[in-house]
Amino acid sequence: MDKDKMDKDRENRITEYTDIDNGLSDVQRVKVLSPGMLVVRRFLRNRLAIIGFIIILFMFLFSFIGGLITPYDETEVFRYIGSMSKEYVSVTINEEFRFTVAEGMAYDNATHARFILAKNQGESVFTHGGEAFHIIQEAEDFFRVVLSYPKARITYIRGIMGVTPLEDGLSYDEEFQNAIRQAIDGGQTSFIFGDEQYTLSRDGRDYVLGTTQDVAIESLLITDGVSSNKDLGFGFKLESEKALRADDSTSFVFEGNTYQIEEEENVASVYRLTGSGREQFALISPMAVQAVSRDVVLTIEFKTALEKAIADGETKFTYPDDAGNEIVYDINRINNVYTVKTETNTHLISMHEQPSSQHWLGTDKHGMDVLTRLMYGGRISLMIGFIVVLLETALGIIMGGLAGYFGKWVDMLIMRIVDVFFCIPFLPILIILGSVMDKLDVDPQLRIYYLMLILGIMSWPGIARMVRGQILSLREQEFMLAAEATGLSISRRIFKHLIPNVIPQLIVLATLGLGGVILYESTLSFLGLGVKFPFASWGNIISGVSTAYEMTNFWFVWIPAGLLILLTVLGFNFVGDGLRDAFDPKMKR
């Protein structure tokens, strides 16, 4: 009956052909077409199948050839040098006393703490480590700490003063005694006579006069030197600050040089006079300026400009850099700390870059070229699809063939296994296995192989069932009886005579299955349980797009990937459909 129909079909076609061409040779040509050729012809006449075939061909070229052509690598990260507003300098208004120690003297943080205590209690002497330190106030918040060497004992009762030198050979003239008297009357604890600093301290009813040696200065002001001469030394600091704070003079002499002081809003610049003019030498201010990065050296000119800007209450200031470009700095104040930010050049990853001539589909969140990722992703998706389908087909043929041919308990057993597999929910089990691999921290490369294996093992029962059904019906046909009668071996009978008759259905199922596998793989990868970063897959390129912001702004990442999945699966479905029609023309589905 089948044959009749086919013959009729063929006759119809022949008349069609002769009608078109009126040539006898065409009749001959059509007659010699083999059944295989007929299938091909029928396939080629199916427009949808051809479209599907072209789609799949394109996908292969895109993934496998495209990956070779693209100038980029699968996991190549693109960076650019961009400017970022970075913290450059922090400025603190100093509220703590800072000390500078004279050369060769011992004065550490513990001594400093003692000084703070003594100062707060209004005492003029404190002891630390067995030594008595005298505090001499030069100006507000500016102190000298000195060691005192007793030179004379002074008795002073009701205006009558007696000076008893403690060392031999010391004598004090009238002028000096007047100075002492003045100091005692004024309640001072120190005084200057000549060039010497003297201390007066009480000892019972008497006073002790001592000469002094500078140990340290304690001050709220910070003195910075020019970059070529960072360490200004104790002497300079003392002299300059004394001139600025105590004497209120605009110039002073130190070690033979004359210095000028210009003060403006608490910020004082110290210039050294040279033969031709003057040059900036130091900066005295209540602000501590520190660069955030250690490798940045701040010049005193920059500090001066910055501190003046801060003192003027400005929020922005410009200062030329080494190359002479004017750079804008933003000043933000938080309590007593000013942060100065500027646009700094840094290496940045070009994340989610819009499509451009370099990156036709932009870059993804890792800064990788989306188009290249799509190509490599296509490779993985297609490869997984083909390997899984091969695996499931092989398993299905073996199991289905065994069941169908042997029947009885083999059939029973294999079919029950198939039933069990059918009952296991497919997607949930893939998700569970995916999360098992997640927890076991499986290497991404190995994961791909496991994924293929799992998909193959999970999907063979469908093929096995079909093969078994076909074989069961074929087994009863006459040609198998003939094969048995000619004494062919069992394996020959199965693989040479039964299986070839199942091949058409197998090809159709496998083609449709390819689409299914690619869908499952991409779904899993989308959920983050399939192919993992750094490997690309169409599914995992889409994953991570969940918020409205990402959806609208990074469309160039996920829309192409989704379209590729859709097109590929559609292509396989078109081709599978066309093949089914071509193999079995009477069952046009």
Only one residue has tokens 């004024």, namely 186
Cα 492 → chain centroid: 62
State the CB neighbour count (10 A cutoff) for residue 503. 13
State the CB neighbour count (10 A cutoff) for residue 273. 15
Task: Using the minimum distance from each CB to other proteins, give the nearer residue, 163 or 529.
Answer: 529
Which residue pairs from 189-192 have beta carbons closer than 8 angstroms and sit at least 24 positions apart in sequence? 189/124, 189/125, 189/134, 189/136, 190/124, 190/134, 190/136
Query: What does the per-residue mask of binding to other proteins show for 426-445, with x meaning CB under 8 A?
Result: -xxx-xxx-xx--xx-----
**Binder among 6, 30, 33, 48 for other proteins (CB under 8 A):** 48
Task: Using the minimum distance from each CB to other proteins, give the nearer residue, 235 or 562.
Answer: 562
For residue 534, whether the previous peptide bond is cis, meaning omega lies within 30 degrees of 0, is yes
Q: Are 373 and 541 in contact (CB under 8 A)?
A: yes
Min CB(469)–other proteins separation in Å: 15
Q: Are 85 and 342 in contact (CB under 8 A)?
A: yes
Task: Using the minimum distance from each CB to other proteins, give the nearer residue, 207 or 538.
Answer: 538
- How many residues are present in the chain? 589
Contact between 407 and other proteins per CB under 8 A: no
Task: Using the minimum distance from each CB to other proteins, give the nearer residue, 340 or 564.
Answer: 564
Task: Using the minimum distance from each CB to other proteins, give the nearer residue, 225 or 516.
Answer: 516
**Binder among 24, 32, 81, 548 for other proteins (CB under 8 A):** 548
Task: Using the minimum distance from each CB to other proteins, give the nearer residue, 281 or 526.
Answer: 526
Min CB(574)–other proteins separation in Å: 7
Q: Are 120 and 325 in contact (CB under 8 A)?
A: no
**Binder among 165, 425, 500, 534 for other proteins (CB under 8 A):** 425
Contact between 566 and other proteins per CB under 8 A: yes
**Binder among 526, 535, 556, 583 for other proteins (CB under 8 A):** 526
Contact between 412 and other proteins per CB under 8 A: no
Contact between 453 and other proteins per CB under 8 A: no
User: Which among 253, 217, 240 is positioned nearest to 115, based on CA atoms?
Assistant: 217
DSSP secondary structure string, 231-296? ---HHHHHHHHIIIIIS--SEEEETTEEEEEEEETTEEEEEEE-SSSEEEEEEEESEEEEESSTT-
Hey, which residues between 321 and 340 contact other proteins (CB under 8 A)? none
Task: Using the minimum distance from each CB to other proteins, give the nearer residue, 306 or 565.
Answer: 565
Hey, which residues between 464 and 493 contact other proteins (CB under 8 A)? none
Q: Are 368 and 355 in contact (CB under 8 A)?
A: no
Tokens of 274: 């040279």
Q: Which residues bind other proteins (CB under 8 A)?
A: 47-48, 416, 419-420, 422-425, 427-429, 431-433, 435-436, 439-440, 515, 519, 522-523, 526-527, 529, 539, 542, 545, 548, 551-552, 555, 558-559, 561-562, 565-566, 569-570, 573-574, 577, 587-589
